Amino acid sequence: MKEKVLAIINEIRATKELPAVSSLNVNDNLRNDLDLTSFDLAELTVRIEDEFDIDIFEDGLVNTIGEVLAKLEK
């Protein structure tokens, strides 16, 4: 699961010509550490929902990789 989230994030970063990240830390902030914009977060939401059938923002904002993974593990 974490590997798929990493792949999705790297695909989004690649469209912005940002270098790929090699790993994710639960404390990584989606905006500050991974440089995702609001538009990127919307794309992340759609792609995760397509892959896992879960809306990670259904109950409110998520800010870190740990929060994303917690939603996926429910």
State the Cα–Cα distance between residues 72 and 17, nearest whole angstrom: 27
pLDDT for the residue numbered 12: 97
Provide the CATH number for the domain around residue 41: 1.10.1200.10
pLDDT for the residue numbered 57: 83
**Mapped to the 3 state alphabet, what secondary structure does 41-73 carry?**
HHHHHHHHHHHHCCCCCCCCCCCEHHHHHHHHC
pLDDT for the residue numbered 43: 95
State which residues form the domain around 63.
2-72
pLDDT for the residue numbered 74: 78
Q: Count Cβ atoms below 10 Å from residue 19 Cβ, excluding itself.
A: 8
pLDDT for the residue numbered 44: 95
Average pLDDT per block of 10 residues along the chain, 74 residues long: 96 96 97 96 95 89 94 88
Residue in the block written with tokens 């991974």: 34
pLDDT for the residue numbered 41: 94
Phi, psi of 5 (to 5 degrees): -65, -40
Q: How many domains does the chain divide into?
A: 1
